[in-house]
Structure 1
């Protein structure tokens, strides 16, 4: 029976999938499988041939392999490795090269003979590339093929650098990189323009020859492409779908990467489910949007024809379910994000008392406050709450070098105007200009340049917060140390960041804290900043009584909103408030037009912000609720 239930649950999936609670557990499992291959080969006196990948996905696998080597005597003396790919052209000594990556994360810490390491050579003359690739392929074949191949997956669906359009029988070759792939790599290279346009990669056919193929994917950013690769039709548009043709391939996912699969996202389509109130709410919202019918117009037949007959049987009729879900959504909407005083708050998202709340809005970067929740920020200030804003990092990475020179030129001209002849500004200006002439992609700026860039963003943030209506004493620049330390080392302690945050929280004793809830990138600034806030609050909850009345609300950034069924507070904005929010965003002039790290969305930040909130309002309206200009959404963190 258990086997039948599993088949029913996974019937949409066209390739074996294992889902782990998190990437740490999954990575340890994959490393164990690799170690078993190595040890089995050792016992037979044979060579283990491993196909390895680069990028963030396999890092924890390599970390566990290093631990197994150092603590459990796993030897790599009988191992030969072949890496999937390398940028072209690329010097092996470059910071962005996969030679550097593999040495840093694995090879320099194990006992593998250097002559057993094979990574595509990004320095091969172009006229010899074909010959080199054929030799790489032949070397794998001479060893009997790969015993195990590990893969990640790009957002284009590429495996290795086999981009859309790759053939299932392709071999090792030189390829042109997809624009999205280059945009995803832009941060490592200091801008997309510095990312090579080509790469050397093993082909899909080469990968298929491996005796065991493991594709790993972590975090929510990979969820949509994983769903297409696992459940979609085989297509050259998504090369990872070719793995459906192999009986030796499987996907290893964490829960976030698996979240879009049918068995997790819409489980009622795949199996019988336990209809909790939360799952019913999600399903009704899905059904309404799927059929493009307002919630109150859904019928028993609509439920029965879309995998939800059991819900109607258990909790129906349909109209009763419709009313309950509609009312729940209606109650999330409030024009009083700090709570409406002197009213019954039993069905409102925020408390009525105290009428005037102490509030801290934590902004990871100096513009996240107005971009992400600028309308609510303005509303809180307008309604008389004691609002503080805390800018957690300097944001100095996201300032153009030209802006530094422009500000220095202004200060220099001002110094001349007031007869300041010390020449310090001119000296800094001259040194900065010389540095920028020879600056390499992704090279860390000198401390004085980082300071200037931070001051540029500080001035813009002050202007934005003042525009909202905050007094200067309520504007805090934490400049948390981890942000600059992370430019020099990935092994960073956050203890002083946490202590500094605890100090600010103790000084304000807020009833409300707003923090960024973007967790898709576990190593991103937003996630690190949230973890610091959460650690600070958890420690304070052990000793400080005021924390028991402190609620933590999470907002999302400019790109993605919370799903409708998860939203717990929806703050509608009028056209006038949308305009005020836009003007607050405009105070951040260094981020206007084209920011240093625009991501893969060409729209300006203010456009992204307005589109996101108008889209949220439109979804509420499609569900049958009022038609607002825009809505900013929040989810409450449960301690």
Structure 2
């Protein structure tokens, strides 16, 4: 078996061990990717199991559910199957479970743990402990007391794995939980229930209570590892690591533990001082990207246009070495201002017959073949609708590829409405028997479905057709012919569940086939990795893998890839390499194109943390980007859509 040194060590180190972490109140390790971080955590767990086995002792693990630990469990299963890691001396205690909850329900943490870990290793069933969501309410308190006694009888938890919720909860210890709290029943915070809504096919189906291990129980573990991945966790991680200890963010209690580590990927660490503003904590090597990031930060902090920044401004904000190396301030200001100015273009496909030396896109060929990848059937118009409109208006050969059907994100009543139309349509054309039969089958299927159940194949297909029809309507409104809309229906998505299959070879081949068919000069893809359901991330991974396999083909050498955002967040201005202004008229056209997606209008089935409709989110972000450009001293626009180039 590999040793821990195979991966970067995450062993506890004293906080403040170096200058760059001086604002951090708990030891944190940042890895390039969540997979690298997960492997490191899995290796520490495996080493602990082996050490305990060699001593003839039981290894007591505290385990978590959710998206954060899944790769850790996958790696532990691999070690068991390929390297002989045994779990015979392991006892586990899970953090929590919804209440009430049947163990075989799709959302049950019993089912989760079996599917991801227990069914694939040699752990003894009697050594598995998970809070019981089937208990009568009056027996919960005594069960919780017994849970505590079992942990104590084994000498406590040796290593506790944790994730973190958007409220800062650990386990289901919501804001207000006391540091000495024990295993108990708890009422779930509204935000926690909202975040879980997608797993339960609607917030109304999410249980209002849960049984959770207490903060005090967690804090008694000998070793704590909290994991967080992705941009969506960056703000709460910043508060957890650098903020004050407070019951309003229970994860901050970990600052008081003597052997705790926060394990992050780069995205989750984005708001830490050493990542966001490293010049405040250490001497920096002032490469162009960092200088640009720092100057934009300084301009926005002081609310001064870039061209008005002074040497004193730089010196007072930890950037004196930048002025010493590349100053005076006037020279730095001019350079960064020009770089930002050169990102702005009203010609996303390149301006014909123009000098493109300082333009983000090439002037030739004058008419480009374009593929816009849209993870769901509305991301194209939501996130880059203004640019989409310009590409079509400017005569480029535009294709849109809808990667998934989006069929789980349609309300049941929309299906009934379409089935009712089908029944009436058949009745007009004297085929009422067939229409009535299908209508009854659909209505019965929906009526008999329990909260959280998977839709029948017939209902799934109708929901997919609803999304497909809306996407076609959006394309037609923009001016795109029907044959330029491609519906890929990537297999990884088609489970009927929020939980998807792993990305497979067939998914990648579908992308490759389309790219070979079109041979595009431009590819647009969603780089919006904060999508809480992960579909955007998987879709982007499929595109990257397809591009990597195709990169040696001759046509790929003249293909540029642009990443857009907008549905869940926007690019930071320092990351934008092409900024496409959107006029007031174009913004109205973009909005109307989004409105063609009627099933997502007013209230989306899975809105995520943001209560605004998607068109509102996108417009507000486009307005905000334009406002930042204006504040930095650049031309004032109504709205801007930002893109970052992916260089393969």
Q: Does residue 423 of structure 2 align to residue 428 of structure 1?
A: no
Structure 1 equivalent of residue 9 of structure 2: none
Q: How far apart, CA to CA, are the structure 1 residues paired with 2:144 and 2:221? A: 17
Structure 2 equivalent of residue 540 of structure 1: 550
Q: Which of 418, 421, 425 is the aligned partner of 1:414? A: 425
Q: Which of 216, 220, 224 is the aligned partner of 1:209? A: 220
- 8 Å contact from structure 1 (residues 522, 528) kept in 2: no
Q: Does residue 559 of structure 2 align to residue 550 of structure 1?
A: yes
Alignment of 1:599-610 (within 5 A): 599-610=608-619
SS at structure 2 position matched to 1:86:
strand
Structure 1 equivalent of residue 605 of structure 2: 596
- 8 Å contact from structure 1 (residues 219, 521) kept in 2: no
Structure 2 equivalent of residue 399 of structure 1: 410
Q: Does residue 613 of structure 2 align to residue 621 of structure 1?
A: no
Structure 1 equivalent of residue 79 of structure 2: 68
**Change in 2 beyond 3 A, CA 1:504/1:42:** closer
Q: How far apart, CA to CA, are the structure 1 residues paired with 2:519 and 2:123? A: 55
Structure 1 equivalent of residue 492 of structure 2: 482
Q: Which of 457, 460, 465 is the aligned partner of 2:467? A: 457
SS at structure 2 position matched to 1:188:
coil
Q: How far apart, CA to CA, are the structure 2 residues paired with 1:75 and 1:93? A: 26
Structure 2 equivalent of residue 561 of structure 1: 570
Structure 2 equivalent of residue 110 of structure 1: 121
**Change in 2 beyond 3 A, CA 1:202/1:383:** same
Q: How far apart, CA to CA, are the structure 2 residues paired with 1:491 and 1:585? A: 28
Q: How far apart, CA to CA, are the structure 1 residues paired with 2:234 and 2:86? A: 35
- 1:117-167 deviation digits (Å, cap 9, x = unpaired): 111111222223222212211221122211111111111111111111111
Out of 447-456 and 350-359, give the one that drifted further. Answer: 447-456
Alignment of 1:296-335 (within 5 A): 296-335=307-346
Q: Which of 34, 44, 47 is the aligned partner of 1:36? A: 47
Structure 2 equivalent of residue 580 of structure 1: 589
Q: How far apart, CA to CA, are the structure 1 residues paired with 2:330 and 2:521? A: 38
Q: How far apart, CA to CA, are the structure 1 residues paired with 2:15 and 2:326? A: 27
Q: How far apart, CA to CA, are the structure 1 residues paired with 2:79 and 2:516? A: 44
Out of 341-350 and 53-62, give the one that drifted further. Answer: 53-62
Q: Does residue 636 of structure 2 align to residue 636 of structure 1?
A: no
**Change in 2 beyond 3 A, CA 1:43/1:175:** same
Count of residues in correspondence between the two structures: 636
Alignment of 1:92-131 (within 5 A): 92-131=103-142
Q: How far apart, CA to CA, are the structure 2 residues paired with 1:142 and 1:35? A: 23
- 1:209-266 deviation digits (Å, cap 9, x = unpaired): 1111111222222122111111111111111111111112111222222222111111
- 8 Å contact from structure 2 (residues 291, 322) kept in 1: yes
Gaps of 5+ in 2: 1-13
What is the CA-CA distance between 1:524 and the residue it aligns to?
1.9
Q: Which of 143, 149, 156 is the aligned partner of 1:138? A: 149
Alignment of 1:129-208 (within 5 A): 129-208=140-219
Q: How far apart, CA to CA, are the structure 2 residues paired with 1:403 and 1:425? A: 17
- 1:521-571 deviation digits (Å, cap 9, x = unpaired): 59722222222223333333323x122111111111322110000101111
Structure 1 equivalent of residue 521 of structure 2: 511
**Change in 2 beyond 3 A, CA 1:292/1:250:** same
Alignment of 1:188-337 (within 5 A): 188-337=199-348
What is the CA-CA distance between 1:76 and the residue it aligns to?
2.4
Structure 2 equivalent of residue 53 of structure 1: 64
What is the CA-CA distance between 1:88 and the residue it aligns to?
1.2
Structure 2 equivalent of residue 439 of structure 1: 449
Structure 1 equivalent of residue 541 of structure 2: 531
Q: How far apart, CA to CA, are the structure 2 residues paired with 1:12 and 1:252? A: 17
Structure 1 equivalent of residue 8 of structure 2: none
**Change in 2 beyond 3 A, CA 1:457/1:68:** closer
- 1:472-509 deviation digits (Å, cap 9, x = unpaired): 22222222333215749854453233333333223322
Q: How far apart, CA to CA, are the structure 2 residues paired with 1:529 and 1:4? A: 38
Q: How far apart, CA to CA, are the structure 1 residues paired with 2:374 and 2:85? A: 45
- 8 Å contact from structure 1 (residues 558, 612) kept in 2: no
SS at structure 2 position matched to 1:306:
coil
Structure 2 equivalent of residue 378 of structure 1: 389
Q: How far apart, CA to CA, are the structure 1 residues paired with 2:345 and 2:324? A: 33
RMSD, aligned α-carbons:
2.0
What is the CA-CA distance between 1:351 and the residue it aligns to?
0.8
- Please report the TM-score for the alignment, with normalisation by the length of structure 2: 0.94
Structure 2 equivalent of residue 468 of structure 1: 478
What is the CA-CA distance between 1:172 and the residue it aligns to?
1.1
Q: How far apart, CA to CA, are the structure 2 residues paired with 1:309 and 1:123? A: 62
Please identify runs of 4+ aligned residues in structure 1 that moved more than 4 A. Answer: 3-6, 485-493
Out of 434-443 and 516-525, give the one that drifted further. Answer: 516-525
What is the CA-CA distance between 1:73 and the residue it aligns to?
3.0
- 8 Å contact from structure 2 (residues 528, 568) kept in 1: no
SS at structure 2 position matched to 1:214:
strand
Q: How far apart, CA to CA, are the structure 2 residues paired with 1:256 and 1:16? A: 17
Q: How far apart, CA to CA, are the structure 2 residues paired with 1:87 and 1:168? A: 21
SS at structure 1 position matched to 2:439:
helix
SS at structure 1 position matched to 2:342:
helix
- 8 Å contact from structure 1 (residues 373, 632) kept in 2: yes
**Change in 2 beyond 3 A, CA 1:46/1:534:** closer
What is the CA-CA distance between 1:175 and the residue it aligns to?
1.0
- 8 Å contact from structure 1 (residues 52, 151) kept in 2: yes
